[in-house]
Structure formats: C-alpha cells, structure tokens
Amino acid sequence: MLTTSTAQHAREQELLDRVVRSFGTCPDPRLRELLTGLVRHLHAFIREVRLTEREWAAAIEFLTRCGHVTDDKRQEFILLSDVLGASMQTITVANPARGDATEATVFGPFFVDGAPRIPLGGDIAGPAAGEPCWVEGTVTGTDGTPLADARIEVWEADADGRYDVQYDDGRTAGRAHLHTDEDGRYRFWAVTPTPYPIPHDGPVGRLLEAAGRSPMRASHLHFMVSHPGRRTLVTHIFVRGDELLEHDSVFGVRPSLIRDFEKQEPGTPTPDGRQVEGTWSRVRFDIVLAPGEPEDRRGDG
Ligand code: BEZ
Ligand code: FE
C-alpha cells in the first residue's frame, strides 16, 4: 500500500466521516447499519488499493454489462456473488453450525419450481443421459426423530453437464420432488453427478478468464429439504475423489457434504430389482434438519 501524507489521509477520512454521517438519520436501524458498514468497507477498499479513476470506470462498465445480460432466466449478479465467495460467506454466516444438522451450500441458478413428484424409488433422470445412481437415506431432526413426509427437491445436470433448462426443447430432466415415508426414509434413482462449468459466456466468465480461474464446479447433486418446524435446508452432495473438490468455482464444497458414490459393476443386482445395463453407482445421504421455521431459501445465493 502506498503511504499517504497526513494531510491526504485527513482529507480522505473527512469525506468518509461525512458520508457515514449522512446516513445517521436513517430511521431504520438495520438499514443504517448496512449502509454505513458498506460505506466504511467500500472506502477502505478504495483507499487500500489506491483505486484509479480508470479502474473505477472499468468496474462500472463491468457491472453495467452484468446488468445487461441479467433477465428472468440469467442472473449475472448472483453468479458474481458466487465466484467472489460472497454467496457462500452469506450462507456460512446465516447458517451457523447447529448440532449435527446437515450443512447448507449455494442454491445455484438451476432450481425450477413445480418439478414433477416421483414415488419413493422413482427416477428423477427422465431423458437426462448418464450413469444410473441409486440415492437413499433418511431425514431426521437434530434429536434423531425421523421426519415423515419431508419434502425433498432434487436436481442435477446430465452427463454432458447441462441442466434441462439449458436444453432448447423445454423437456424436464434431472429434477423431481419426493416425500419421505413414515420412518423418514427416502430413495430414488438419479444419474451419477459429473463436473460442469457455471454459465461463463458473460462478464463473470470473462472475469474468471482474466483471473486465470476455471468456471468448473465439482460434481454434485442438489437437494432442498423442508418439513414443518424445521429450517429448510438447501445443499448438495459431492463425489469423493472428484479432482475439482478443491477448486469448485463457487466455493460450495464442505467436507461434511462429500459422499462415497460406490461404483457397481455391470450385472450387480440393484436395490429395487431394476435391470441396469452397464455400471451404476449408489450413495447414502442421511439428512439432519435444524429446528426453525421452514422458509423460502431461494434468495440465499
Ligand atoms: C449450480 O450448482 O448449478 C451453480 C451454482 C452456482 C452458480 C452456478 C451454477
Ligand atoms: Fe448445480
């Protein structure tokens, strides 16, 4: 950092103090806290890196481009928040470790409301290509109580790394919801997750390129699990051994969410007698919900 003269430091500090004071009359105390905190950190950043006017203009231009590609299908600002780790930090702050409750991770842009309901043991894949994967587990509270009729939404990319919303023909694939049985158990078929890039054809993709960073996400399967009287959980499971676990572009991997997807040789009998040609995999994910009110977690990044 460049050292600044005492007089220059005082000029900068006087400006910051004036801006902070301008929010002093904000009638909403939380809004006042957010705005003054933002101003303090923003000014600290500008002063620390000695921001040039050219760099300021480039930042404005970048944000403008993010705005131009954002619509009701593409949200470049959330993507920006994701690659800066801000989504994951917000989730970390908002979801402190609670007993043995399953940890949360990023929501991502590919959830769709109204995915079809499947029965226990049903298949979420539909036309999504990929190696079949048997997923099973339980949903319980932190006290171990099995949670009957918990709603589980699951969604994932196909073996080519595409979600159905990225197909041209509107088909539903790789997504569904199901409910736990009276003992809190669930099971379904999916496809074994494979790595794929976040949308990187826009300004955030160019930012990653300029920074020499990869847009790839570690292989994962998304879950959103809800039950009355429990905090809604938005999470994924990741594939143990995936070489991208250390380099997930949105920092979503938590060690507690890495699971063994056990490879099964062709001809290995399946849990439900389904005939599978070729290899398949199986994974167990026991989900523990923290106490709290169910809520819409979709704004959480
Ligand atoms: C995803 O998991 O699908 C995702 C998450 C964050 C940004 C982009 C994609
Ligand atoms: Fe995803």
- Is residue 158 a contact partner of residue 129, using CB atoms and an 8 Å limit? yes
Provide CB contacts within 8 A for 162, sequence distance 6+: 196
The residue to mutate among 83, 198, 254, having the most atoms of ligand 1 within 8 angstroms of its beta carbon, is 198
Full pLDDT tens readout for the chain, 301 residues:
557 899 999 999 999 999 999 999 999 999 999 999 999 999 999 999 999 999 999 999 999 999 999 998 899 999 999 999 999 999 999 888 887 899 999 999 999 999 999 999 999 999 889 999 999 999 999 999 999 999 999 999 999 999 998 888 889 999 999 999 999 999 999 999 999 999 999 999 999 999 999 999 999 999 999 999 999 999 999 999 999 999 999 999 999 999 999 999 999 999 999 999 999 999 999 999 999 877 665 544 4
Please tell me the distance from the alpha carbon of residue 271 to that of residue 135, in angstroms, as a whole number: 10
Q: Which of 105, 126, 88, 91 is nearest to 222 (CA)?
A: 105
Check pocket membership of 197 for ligand 1, CB cut-off 6 A: no
Provide CB contacts within 8 A for 55, sequence distance 6+: none
Which residue's C-alpha comes closest to atom 7 of ligand 1?
108
Beta bridge partner(s), residue 179 = 151
Please calculate the CA angle 140-142-145 and round it to the nearest 5 degrees. 45
What's the pTM? 0.92
Around Cβ 27, how many Cβ atoms within 10 Å?
6
Question: Crossing angle for the helix pair 29-49 and 6-22, nearest 10 degrees?
Answer: 160
CA of 220 from ligand 2 middle (Å) equals 6
Which residue's C-alpha comes closest to atom 5 of ligand 1?
108
First to last CA, the chain: 33
Please tell me the distance from the alpha carbon of residue 251 to that of residue 89, in angstroms, as a whole number: 9
Ligand nearest to the CA of 155: 2
As given in the structure block, the two tokens for residue 52 are 């040039």
